[in-house]
Amino acid sequence: MPVVFILRGGVIALLCWTGLVALNASADDSPVTLSGTREWRLTNADGHPYRIMISEPEGELPYTGGYPVLYVLDANAYFASLHEAKRAQKAYRKAIIVGIGYPGDKPLNFLRRSYDFSPPVPEDRNDPPQGGQDQLLDFIERTLMPKVAEHYTVDEDQQSLYGHSFGGMFAVYTLFTRPELFDHIVSASPSLWWHDHYLLPPERHFTEQAMDRKIDVTHTSLALIVAERDSPQEVQNAVALQKRLQPLSALGLRSSVTVIEAEDHMSVPFRIENLVLREVLTARRR
């Protein structure tokens, strides 16, 4: 006789062909926790709090002498699935994933991310408040990364950043303005059209600096990922950006565009966990 266990508000019900029999179970409202993780609360220079989620490395140090690190934006939404994808695959277990999120349980904090990931704009267009991209980069570079390095042995040559949508736009901005900060950038469905394509001047400066050998892009990569059902503008902007960066491949910059079929702007992050991990954790420097 088949039996189905159903958990309903602390009561386990045994559903049998002969009827429904209820058994009392001790109610436990504790939240689900993720094994192999820890959480920090950090604040930036202005006192704004961040919820930092750490997926800890497993096993001995890699031959490089340090653990690779992947920093993930909008961590409330995207950290858990990346953490479990990492732990389930032996090839990725030695990596550290550092999620940058916000206090509370909302998957996406609209107001905080709108400010953190965006450039300054004129006052008449500053609703919601924008312009915090450099403050967030300062927090990552001067507060978060040093704290991670205090607690773990980090491979300084294998540090990566992943963001989606506004976060993907911020990730591209990071490559253009602080190219030494991360070795690999993964940008999913980036909002490259934002504020009249504001990233074009930083892109030109980045390209000029690379061509003049004032910055080293030998071991740098940019993976652009878009959904088939993203807006045509988003897909075309990503393709055009990759084409413009293609000449830098002669200097070592690896760039790519991947279109994920049958997904839209909000569903694509939950199809690409393995692609993100492969992009940043299989690249070899030495």
List, for residues 125-182, the tens digit of each pLDDT value. Answer: 999 999 999 999 999 999 999 999 999 999 999 999 999 999 999 999 999 999 999 9
Residue 221: per-residue pLDDT: 98
List, for residues 208-244, the tens digit of each pLDDT value. Answer: 999 999 999 999 999 999 999 999 999 999 999 999 9
Query: Is the separation of the CB atoms in 35 and 128 below 8 Å?
Result: no
Residue 72: per-residue pLDDT: 99
Per 3-state DSSP, what percentage of the chain is helix, strand, and coil (rounded to 5)? 35, 25, 35
Question: What average pLDDT does this structure show over 190-203?
Answer: 97
Residue 286: per-residue pLDDT: 58
For the ranges 29-38, 63-72, 81-90, which has the lowest average pLDDT?
Answer: 29-38
Residue 13: per-residue pLDDT: 42
Query: Is the separation of the CB atoms in 254 and 175 below 8 Å?
Result: no
Q: What percent of the chain shows pLDDT beyond 90?
A: 86
CA 267/CA 81 separation, integer angstroms: 13
Strand order in the sheet with 19-24: 4-8, 11-16, 19-24
- C-alpha distances in angstroms, 65 versus 79, 154, 205, 286? 25, 8, 34, 12
Residue 31: per-residue pLDDT: 85
pLDDT of 251 higher than 90: yes
Going by C-alpha positions, the residue among 208, 282, 214, 285 that lies closest to residue 247 is 208
User: Which two tokens mark 69?
Assistant: 């690190």
Going by C-alpha positions, the residue among 80, 103, 105, 84 that lies closest to residue 93 is 84
Question: What average pLDDT does this structure show over 179-206?
Answer: 98
Going by C-alpha positions, the residue among 128, 137, 131 that lies closest to residue 163 is 137
Strand, coil or helix: 186: strand
List, for residues 5-35, the tens digit of each pLDDT value. Answer: 233 344 434 444 444 444 455 557 888 899 9
Across the chain, mean pLDDT equals 91
Question: What average pLDDT does this structure show over 80-105?
Answer: 97
Indicate the residue type of 65.
G
User: Which two tokens mark 254?
Assistant: 């690896």
Question: What average pLDDT does this structure show over 116-124?
Answer: 95
Q: What percent of the chain shows pLDDT beyond 70?
A: 90
pLDDT of 4 higher than 60: no
Question: What average pLDDT does this structure show over 112-124?
Answer: 96
Pairing type for strands 154-164 and 184-188 reads parallel
Residue 30: per-residue pLDDT: 84
Residue 159: per-residue pLDDT: 98
Residue 5: per-residue pLDDT: 28
Exposure string over 165-194, b if 16+ CB within 10 A, otherwise e? bbbbbbbbbbbbbebebbbbbbbbbbbbeb
> 260 forms bridges with which residues in the sheet?
227
User: Which two tokens mark 171?
Assistant: 């990730």
Burial of 114 (0-12, 13-18, 19+ CB in 10 A): middle
CA 33/CA 83 separation, integer angstroms: 12
**Which residue is it, tokens 């088939």?**
228
